[in-house]
Amino acid sequence: MSQYFKWLNKEFSDLWIERCKELYQEVEKTNLVKKLHMKYIITPELMRNYYIDKFPWLFEMPMYDPTKESVVFFRFNGSDPETDKFEVHKDPTEAWANVNVPVYNCTHETRTIWVEPIGEEIESWEYRMGSKLDLKEQQTLSNHLRSDYQELEIQYITDRCCLFKGDTWHKVQVDHKRDEWRVMAKFWSRKLNWENLQETFKNYIDFNYDNSIPSS
């Protein structure tokens, strides 16, 4: 199994995918969310003031405290070159290892790709989301790779939750041009250790699941 992510079993995934759909629907209905380019953030303040009372099951996600941490909904759209990709980056704000949940339109037409630099590693800290550089510095400050690289692994997060190692170089690419939003949730706990996360979720990890595209 991959060193960058671990699939979680169907029972856990079905439960949390449905819960995150409810959460996202509430965000769209109430507009109680911090909106940035390509993402909606339910901040801890919004959690405490509204969402925890509405959805007390938020406390049931292991290694996540909704009173202190956010849920982030990443939003991709294949019709716009400013929303159809995340360039090679490492997840910011100490999101070293977290749970990702596919919510809407998560299909094999979007790839998550882990990479490694070729030769010298050139990094650039930028206020950026997707392909959009924010000169007003309102987006999240994140670390981007500016040297050549080679792809190590491709995965398709469609119908299973997964443990996601965000402190390694990776990118996301939508491979269609449709005007539809792909929504992926991340439970944004900070400073989680990858090994500890796996140990906590060991009863939920599915070592047999394979979501790769069969070769023709």
Q: What is the pLDDT of residues 51-96, one digit of tens each?
A: 999 999 999 999 999 999 999 999 999 999 999 999 999 988 788 9
Q: What's the structural domain count of the chain?
A: 1
Residue 211 lies in a domain: no
- Residues 78 and 176: their CA atoms lie apart, in Å, by 5
Residue 60 lies in a domain: yes
Is residue 102's pLDDT more than 60? yes
Structural domain boundaries enclosing 35: 5-198
Residue 203 lies in a domain: no
Q: What is the model's pLDDT at position 142?
A: 77
Q: Under a CB-based contact definition with an 8 Å cutoff, are residues 50 and 56 in contact?
A: no
In this structure, what CATH number is given to the domain that contains residue 144? 2.60.120
Strands 85-90 and 141-145: antiparallel
Cα 137 from chain centre = 21
Other Cβ atoms closer than 10 A to 67:
11
Element (H, E) at 174: strand 170-174
Average pLDDT, the chain: 93
Residue 216 lies in a domain: no
- Residues 50 and 180: their CA atoms lie apart, in Å, by 28
Altogether, the residues listed in the chain come to a count of 216
Q: Please give the average per-residue pLDDT across 121-130, as a whole number.
A: 78
Q: Is 81 exposed, middle or buried (0-12, 13-18, 19+ CB in 10 A)?
A: exposed
Tokens of 82: 């400013």
Interval 9-63: pLDDT, tens:
999 999 999 999 999 999 999 999 999 889 999 999 999 999 999 999 999 999 9
Residue 209 lies in a domain: no
Phi, psi dihedrals of residue 18, rounded to the nearest 5°: -65, -40
183 Cβ contact partners less than 8 Å away, ≥ 6 residues apart: 24, 73, 74, 75, 103, 104, 105, 106
Residue 212 lies in a domain: no
DSSP code at position 14: H
